[in-house]
Amino acid sequence: MGKFEINTDKAGKFRFNLKAGNGQVILSSQGYTTKSACENGIESVKKHSQDDDNFERNTAKDGSPYFNLKASNGQVIGNSEMYSSDSAMENGIASVKKNAPDASVEEIS
């Protein structure tokens, strides 16, 4: 079972990571100014991760595939790591779809 971990970065912003059951980070957020906004971002991931149209598949300058998860308004709510292949990226998307809806939320200090 996956989980969202909320932490605070050096600039004092709240961020979350969605981790798969094996502990690997599969989606990371932007920085939020409040914990409440960060929690809203998590709810948005849970909601929008079930529609494949919300996943924007991209290629980095070095050729590495990665994806962004977007809300219905087009705003990016999470991004992935860089992957070694398109199939690995698709596995990452499948993992987000599987883990996000029922993931628990933990605050890491």
Whole domain around residue 54: which residue ranges? 1-105
Taking only the tens place, the pLDDT of each residue in 67-103 is 999 999 999 999 999 999 999 999 999 999 999 999 9
Q: What is the CATH number for 52?
A: 2.30.29.80
- pLDDT, position 53: 97
**Could you give the CA distance from residue 99 to residue 93 in angstroms, rounded to a whole number?**
10
Which pTM was predicted?
A: 0.93
Q: Using the 8-state DSSP alphabet, how is residue 94 labeled?
A: H
**Could you give the CA distance from residue 34 to residue 31 in angstroms, rounded to a whole number?**
9
Whole-number mean pLDDT of the chain? Answer: 96
Q: Does residue 109 have a pLDDT over 80? A: no
Count the domains in the chain. 1
Contact (Cβ atoms closer than 8 angstroms) between residue 4 and residue 104: yes
Q: Cα Rg for the chain, rounded, in angstroms?
A: 13
Q: What percent of the chain has pLDDT over 90?
A: 98
